Chains A and B, each alone.
Chain A
Amino acid sequence: MPSESASSVFVVRGLAKTYVMGEVSVPALQDVDLDLYSGELVVLLGPSGSGKSTLLNILGGLDRASAGEVVCDGWNLTRAGDRELTAFRREVVGFVFQFYNLIPSLTARENVAIVTEIAADPMAPHEALDLVGLGGRLDHFPAQLSGGEQQRVAIARAIAKRPRVLLCDEPTGALDSSTGVIVLQVLERINRELGTTTAVITHNAGIAAMADRVVQMSDGRIQSIRENGSRLAPSELSW
C-alpha cells in the first residue's frame, strides 16, 4: 500500500497510441493518465484488446507513444531515441512474458547470466535463481523444465539486475492455477523483499486481490483505478 510519502516512479499523462494499418488508424490507447508509485504492486486488468499490453510495452521502452508523455525516474520515454530506450531497458526495467521467452540453447543459469552480463550492479545468477526457488536446477535447459519453472527462470532473469520496475505481461497466462500461484508467490515476494515496483497485466480478475492498486482498462482507456485495502497472499486467491 503506497504511503503518502511514496514517490512516483512512472508519470503518464495524456498517453495515446495509434497503429496505422494501411488507410485505417486503429487507436490502441487514448488519454491515459497514470502514476506508478515506488514499491507498489499494480495489476492492470482488462479483456484482450483493451490496450494493456500496448501500455506495458510503452512503459517498458519497447514501443513508442503516438502522443502524450511518459516519464520514469527522470527518463523521458516519449522523447527518447533508440539508443536511450535501449539504455533505459538495460538499466531500469525487468520483463516477464506470458510465454517465458527463454533462450532454448542456454541453461537456466545462462539465461539469467545473459542479462547480468550487461547490467551495472546485478546479483549473481544463482542468487536470482535461489530467490525464485530454483537454486537446484541451475544447469537445466528450458526443455528440461516445467512451464512454471521456466516462468520462474524468466522472473529470475528479470530481477537479477535489480531493476527499479518489474513489468509482467500475463505471467500466469500459460500456466495451470496451482503453478500460477507459485509464480505469483515469487512475484509477491520479490515485490515485498526487494521493493521493486511491479506491474502485472492479466485478464484474470481473481489475481487483482493481491495488488495494492487495480487499474481496470477497456477499449484503450483506463476505466477505473481502485485501491485494495489489504493485499491477499497469492495462495488465498480464487481464480
Chain B
Amino acid sequence: MSALSRKLLRETWRMRGQALAIGVVIAGGVSTLIMALASLDSLTLTRDAFYRDYRFAAVFASLKRAPEPLRESVERIPGVQRVETRVVAGVNLDIPDFEDPATGVLVSLPDGRNAELNRLFLREGRLPEPGRDQEVVASQSFADAHGFHPGDGLAAIIHGRRQRLEIVGVALSPEYIYQIKPGDIFPDYARHGIFWMNRTQLANAYDMDGAFNDLVLSLTRDARTQDVIERLDLLLEPYGGLGALAREDQLSDRYLSAELEQLQGMAKLLPGIFLGVAAFLLNVVLTRLIGTQRDQIAILKAFGYTNLQVGWHYVQWVLLIVLLGLLLGTAAGIWLAQQMAELYRDFFHFPYLEFRIASRVVGIAVLVTLAAGLLGTLTALWRAVRLPPAEAMRPEPPALYRPILIERLGLERFFSQPVRMILRNLERQPLRAGLSILGIAMGCGILMVGRFQEGALDYLIQVQYGLAQRDDLSLTFVEPTSRRAVQELAALPGVDWVEPTRSIAVRLRHAHASYRTAIQGLPPDGRLRRVLDDRLRVLEIPPEGLLISEYLAEILRVRPGDRLEVDFLEGCRDRREIAVVGVVSEWTGVSAYMDLEALDRLAGEGEAISGALIDLAPGAREAVVARLKEAPRVAGVTDRLRAIQSFTDSMVEIVLSFAFVASLLAGSIAFGVVYNNARIALTERARDLATLRVLGFGLGEIAFILLGEILVLTLLAIPVGFAIGTLLIVAIVEGVSSDLYRFPLVIEPSVYAFSALVILVSTALSGVMVARRLTRLDLVAVLKTRE
C-alpha cells in the first residue's frame, strides 16, 4: 500500500467519529432511496404479474339488470376482447360469535369454474361445485380476520332471506387487491368481505335468471378505452347502466396507484434531503481538513506530487466516507425494502411478491451518492488542487474578525466576552452557519413529517366521527323504500332517534368537467349527519340547491352561485340543472349534499329513502344489530365507531414504527451536523481554548464558548425546521390528496414539541461527546505547536 494511502486510512480512522456521523447521514439517504425504488419496483412488478396472470379486466360496468343476450352486442363493440357478465350483490352478514354488523359483496363465478376475467387465486380449498347453492369462496383478508378456513360457515341476508354460506375456498382477486368498502376511509377486513359463488345460485336468489347486473371487459391491444366506454354506456343506458369505469378508475387499482405515486415522491424527497445534508457536512469537514493540512499539501507538491495526485488523495477521502455510507445504506435499504415489500404484500393482498433489488436500483443509489459527495466537496477539493506549493508552506492567515452587528449598533456592553466570541464566530462564517442551521432544520422538518400523520389521523377521525358523522349505526336498504321505514326503525326497542337519508348516483357536469358521484339527501334539521365548512362550523342544509365538497368544487371548477347539470344515473335518468349554494369541507370521498325533499323533487320520483341513520340508547347496540341483521329490506349495517376503533388499533403500529424510523434518521442528521460542527470548532479553536485555560478559565467556561455556538445554531435551526417541516407536510398533503381521500393540514402542537425535543437531545448528546475532549486538552503542547 502506498504511503499516501496509509495516510488516508490513518487520518480517516482518527476522524472516525466524524466520518461515521457523515456516513450515517449518507446511509440514511441511500437506504431511503433503495427502499423506495426497490419497493416501487417490486410492487409494480408484482401488480403487473398478478394483473396479467389473473386477467385483470380493463373496463368495469354495473347496471340495474340486463338480459344475457345483450352480451353479444357488447362483444361486437370494436376493441372488446373478452366479456364476462356477472351478478354482483351487496349483503348483510351474520357471522357466528361476531356481534358487530358486517357487510359483504357476492360476486358470481361461472358455475363450477374460475372466472374468465379477474380470476381468483385460490389460497386454500376449492371453487364452488356446480349445483351447490351454499358454497362460496371468501376473500382472504376477511377469512384471516375471522380465522375462517374451508369448512367454516356464516349467514348472509340475500334478498331478504337468511341463507347459510359455506366457505369452501379462500382466494385473492386482482379486483380486490385493496379491499375497501366504497365510501369508507379505511379498509375494515373483519366487517366487509368479498364472496364468490356460482352464477346460477346467485342469479336465482336475486331474480337475475338469464340476466346480469355487472360486466367486465378486456380489450384488444389497439383498443381505445374511452371509445369502448362511450359505446358501452350507450348500450347499457336503457338497462340502468351507472357508467363504465376504466381500469385506472377502478377503486382497488386507484388506491394501488396512489400508493405507488407516494413511493415515487418519497424516492425523490427523503434521499435528496439526506444527501444534501451529507454533501454539506463533507464540504465543511474537508475544507477544515485541507486547511489544517496546508503544509502537508505543500510538502507533497514540493516533492513533486502533481496537483491531480493531491486532489485525488482528498477525493479518495470523500470516496471512503461515501463508500461507508453506501455500504451501510445499501444493507439497510435492502433490508427495509424487503420489510416494506412484505408489508405491502399483506396490506394489498397480493398472492405472491416479486421482490428483487435490480442492479439498476443500487446503481442509481451509487451514482446519486457519489455525485452528491463530489459536488458537495468540489470547492474544497479545488482549493487543495490550486494551492500553490510556496504559499501552502506559510501558515493559514489568521482568521479575519470584525465587530459584529450588535457591536456596530453599540450593544456590546450587554454581552460578556465569551458571548461576543460566539457571535463573532457565527458572523465570520455566515455561509457555514447558515448551512448548518439548514441542515439541523432539515432534520427537524423530517421529524415533523414523521409525527404529523398520527396527529392528522386523530384529527381526521375526531372531525369526521365527532362532528360530522355522529350516528351509532347507518344502514342502507336493498332498494329505495318508503319513509314509513323511519317510523318502523324508531319503534325498535333501544333506538333513540332515526334520520332518513337518500343517495342517488349522478354525473355532475360543469362546462367540460364532469364527475360521477352520488347526491346525498339529508333532512334539514338532522343531527346525526352534518356537513361542515372549512372552519368546522356546521352548515345548515339549505331548502334548495346543492352543497358540494371543496375537492369536487375544484374538479368541476365551480363556486357558489354557479349552476351544474345533473345526470341522474338511477330512477328517472333525466338531466336537470341545479345551483351550487355552498362548499363543504370533507376529508374522504367526493360528495354532494342537498335537502332530502328537494332531492326527491329534483329526481321527480316522489318520497323515498335509501338508508337511515340511527342513534342508539346506551347498551342497546347488540339487540338492535341482531334485529337489523334479520330485517329483509336492510342491505347493510355499518357500526362506524367499531370500525374506526379496529382501524386505529391496527394503524398504531405502522404509524409508530414509521415515526420511529423517521426520528432515527432525522436524529442522525441533527447529530451529524452538530457533532461535526462541534469537532471542527474544537480543532479550529483548541489553541484559543487552551490559552484561555492557561489564563485561568475553567472547563465549564471554555465548554460554554465551544458549545454555546452550537446551541445558538440549534436554537436558530428549530424555527427554520418548523417552517421546512410545514412546507414538507403541505407538499405531502397536496401530493396524496385525491378524490379518494385528503389529509387535513393540521399540525398538532405535540408535533412541534417532539421535533424540537429530538433535535435538542441530539445536540446535547453530541455536545457531551465533544465536551469530553476538552478535558483532554493538552495546554502545554497546544501552546507550543506553531500556528
- Chain A contacts to B: CB under 8 angstroms: 57, 60, 62-63, 82-83, 86-91, 94-95, 97, 99, 101, 103, 105-106, 110-111, 113-115, 117-119, 157, 161
Which residues on A sit within 8 Å (CB–CB) of B305?
Answer: 86, 90, 118
A31–B644 CA distance with the chains assembled, in angstroms: 93
Contact of B300 among A62, A82, A97, A114 (CB under 8 A): A114
Contact of A86 among B6, B7, B295, B307 (CB under 8 A): B307
Give the contact-size bracket for chain B: 20 to 34
B interface, over-half SS: helix
CB-based contact B7/A105 at 8 Å: yes
Which residues on A sit within 8 Å (CB–CB) of B408?
Answer: none
**Would you list which residues of chain B between 407 and 431 have a CB under 8 Å from chain A?**
none
Residue among A60, A115, A157 having the largest count of chain B Cβ atoms under 10 Å: A115
Which residues on A sit within 8 Å (CB–CB) of B393?
Answer: 62, 97, 101
Q: Closest CB of chain B to A77's CB: distance in Å?
A: 13
CB-based contact A117/B2 at 8 Å: yes
- Give A125's nearest chain B residue, CB to CB: B3
- Excluding A86-B305, A99-B295, 15 further A-B contacts by CB distance (< 8 Å) are A62-B301, A62-B388, A62-B390, A62-B393, A63-B388, A86-B301, A86-B306, A89-B303, A90-B305, A94-B303, A110-B7, A113-B3, A118-B305, A118-B309, A161-B303
- Give B786's nearest chain A residue, CB to CB: A99
CB-based contact B306/A101 at 8 Å: no
**Would you list which residues of chain B between 267 and 320 have a CB under 8 Å from chain A?**
295-296, 298-307, 309
Contact of A60 among B295, B302, B388 (CB under 8 A): B302
CB-based contact B4/A91 at 8 Å: no
A178–B671 CA distance with the chains assembled, in angstroms: 51
Q: Closest CB of chain B to A160's CB: distance in Å?
A: 10
Contact of B4 among A57, A60, A63, A114 (CB under 8 A): A114
Which residues on A sit within 8 Å (CB–CB) of B11?
Answer: 105
CB-based contact B296/A101 at 8 Å: yes
Q: Closest CB of chain A to B779's CB: distance in Å?
A: 17
Contact of A89 among B6, B302, B388 (CB under 8 A): B302
If A63-B388, A114-B3, A117-B3 touch, does A101 touch B304 (CB 8 Å cutoff)?
Answer: no
A114–B388 CA distance with the chains assembled, in angstroms: 19
Which residues on A sit within 8 Å (CB–CB) of B302?
Answer: 60, 62, 89, 95
CB-based contact A106/B303 at 8 Å: no
CB-based contact A105/B303 at 8 Å: no
A161–B303 CA distance with the chains assembled, in angstroms: 10
A89–B296 CA distance with the chains assembled, in angstroms: 15
CB-based contact A111/B303 at 8 Å: no
- Give A57's nearest chain B residue, CB to CB: B390
CB-based contact B307/A82 at 8 Å: yes
Q: Does residue B14 face the partner (Cβ distance < 8 Å to A)?
A: yes
Q: Closest CB of chain A to B479's CB: distance in Å?
A: 85
Residue among B6, B303, B390 having the largest count of chain A Cβ atoms under 10 Å: B303
Contact of A83 among B7, B295, B306 (CB under 8 A): B306
CB-based contact B6/A106 at 8 Å: yes
CB-based contact B786/A118 at 8 Å: no
If A57-B390, A62-B390, A117-B3 touch, does A101 touch B295 (CB 8 Å cutoff)?
Answer: yes
Residue among B3, B299, B306, B309 having the largest count of chain A Cβ atoms under 10 Å: B3
A49–B462 CA distance with the chains assembled, in angstroms: 81
- Give A143's nearest chain B residue, CB to CB: B781
Which residues on B sit within 8 Å (CB–CB) of A63?
Answer: 388-390
- Give A105's nearest chain B residue, CB to CB: B10
Which residues on B sit within 8 Å (CB–CB) of A110?
Answer: 3, 6-7
A101–B298 CA distance with the chains assembled, in angstroms: 9
Which residues on B sit within 8 Å (CB–CB) of A101?
Answer: 295-296, 298-299, 393
A113–B1 CA distance with the chains assembled, in angstroms: 11
CB-based contact A111/B3 at 8 Å: yes
Query: What 0/1 pattern do residues 1 to 33 of B give for CB contact below 8 A with A?
Result: 011101100110010000000000000000000
CB-based contact B299/A89 at 8 Å: no
The 9 A-B pairs at the shortest CB distance, nearest first, are namely A90-B304, A114-B3, A62-B390, A63-B390, A113-B3, A105-B10, A89-B304, A110-B3, A62-B389
CB-based contact B296/A86 at 8 Å: no
A110–B11 CA distance with the chains assembled, in angstroms: 14
Which residues on B sit within 8 Å (CB–CB) of A91?
Answer: 304
A113–B786 CA distance with the chains assembled, in angstroms: 26
- Give B395's nearest chain A residue, CB to CB: A99
CB-based contact A90/B390 at 8 Å: no
Q: Closest CB of chain B to A62's CB: distance in Å?
A: 4
Which residues on A sit within 8 Å (CB–CB) of B786?
Answer: 99
A99–B295 CA distance with the chains assembled, in angstroms: 10
Q: Closest CB of chain B to A116's CB: distance in Å?
A: 9
- Give B305's nearest chain A residue, CB to CB: A118
Which residues on B sit within 8 Å (CB–CB) of A57?
Answer: 390
If A97-B393, A101-B295 touch, does A115 touch B10 (CB 8 Å cutoff)?
Answer: no
Q: Closest CB of chain A to B394's CB: distance in Å?
A: 10
Which residues on A sit within 8 Å (CB–CB) of B303?
Answer: 89-90, 94-95, 114-115, 118, 157, 161
If A63-B390, A113-B3 touch, does A103 touch B299 (CB 8 Å cutoff)?
Answer: yes
Q: Closest CB of chain B to A35's CB: distance in Å?
A: 23
Which residues on B sit within 8 Å (CB–CB) of A157?
Answer: 303
A117–B3 CA distance with the chains assembled, in angstroms: 8
Q: Closest CB of chain A to B12's CB: distance in Å?
A: 10
**Would you list which residues of chain B between 537 and 572 have a CB under 8 Å from chain A?**
none
Ordered by A's residue number, 25 sampled pairs between the chains whose C-beta atoms are within 8 Å are A62-B302, A62-B393, A82-B307, A87-B304, A89-B303, A89-B304, A90-B304, A97-B299, A99-B295, A99-B786, A101-B299, A101-B393, A103-B7, A105-B6, A105-B7, A105-B10, A105-B11, A106-B7, A106-B10, A110-B7, A113-B2, A114-B4, A117-B3, A118-B304, A161-B303
A86–B378 CA distance with the chains assembled, in angstroms: 23
A103–B11 CA distance with the chains assembled, in angstroms: 10
- Give B14's nearest chain A residue, CB to CB: A105
Which residues on B sit within 8 Å (CB–CB) of A106?
Answer: 3, 6-7, 10
A111–B4 CA distance with the chains assembled, in angstroms: 9
A138–B406 CA distance with the chains assembled, in angstroms: 55
Which residues on A sit within 8 Å (CB–CB) of B298?
Answer: 101
Q: Closest CB of chain B to A88's CB: distance in Å?
A: 8
- Give B300's nearest chain A residue, CB to CB: A114
Which residues on B sit within 8 Å (CB–CB) of A119?
Answer: 304
Q: Closest CB of chain A to B782's CB: distance in Å?
A: 13
- Give A117's nearest chain B residue, CB to CB: B2
Q: Closest CB of chain B to A78's CB: distance in Å?
A: 15
A99–B296 CA distance with the chains assembled, in angstroms: 11
- Give B8's nearest chain A residue, CB to CB: A105
A218–B154 CA distance with the chains assembled, in angstroms: 110
A188–B306 CA distance with the chains assembled, in angstroms: 30
A118–B309 CA distance with the chains assembled, in angstroms: 11
Residue among A86, A87, A101, A115 having the largest count of chain B Cβ atoms under 10 Å: A86
A95–B390 CA distance with the chains assembled, in angstroms: 12
Which residues on B sit within 8 Å (CB–CB) of A95?
Answer: 299, 302-303
Which residues on B sit within 8 Å (CB–CB) of A99?
Answer: 295, 786
If A101-B296, A117-B2 touch, does A89 touch B301 (CB 8 Å cutoff)?
Answer: yes
Which residues on B sit within 8 Å (CB–CB) of A86?
Answer: 301, 304-307
Q: Closest CB of chain A to B320's CB: distance in Å?
A: 14
Which residues on B sit within 8 Å (CB–CB) of A114?
Answer: 2-4, 7, 300, 303
Which residues on B sit within 8 Å (CB–CB) of A115?
Answer: 303-304
Which residues on A sit within 8 Å (CB–CB) of B4?
Answer: 114, 117
Which residues on B sit within 8 Å (CB–CB) of A94?
Answer: 303
Which residues on A sit within 8 Å (CB–CB) of B3?
Answer: 106, 110-111, 113-114, 117
CB-based contact B296/A103 at 8 Å: yes
A114–B301 CA distance with the chains assembled, in angstroms: 11
Which residues on B sit within 8 Å (CB–CB) of A117?
Answer: 2-4
A83–B307 CA distance with the chains assembled, in angstroms: 9
A96–B307 CA distance with the chains assembled, in angstroms: 21
Residue among B305, B393, B786 having the largest count of chain A Cβ atoms under 10 Å: B393
A225–B14 CA distance with the chains assembled, in angstroms: 50
A63–B301 CA distance with the chains assembled, in angstroms: 12
Residue among B2, B304, B306 having the largest count of chain A Cβ atoms under 10 Å: B304
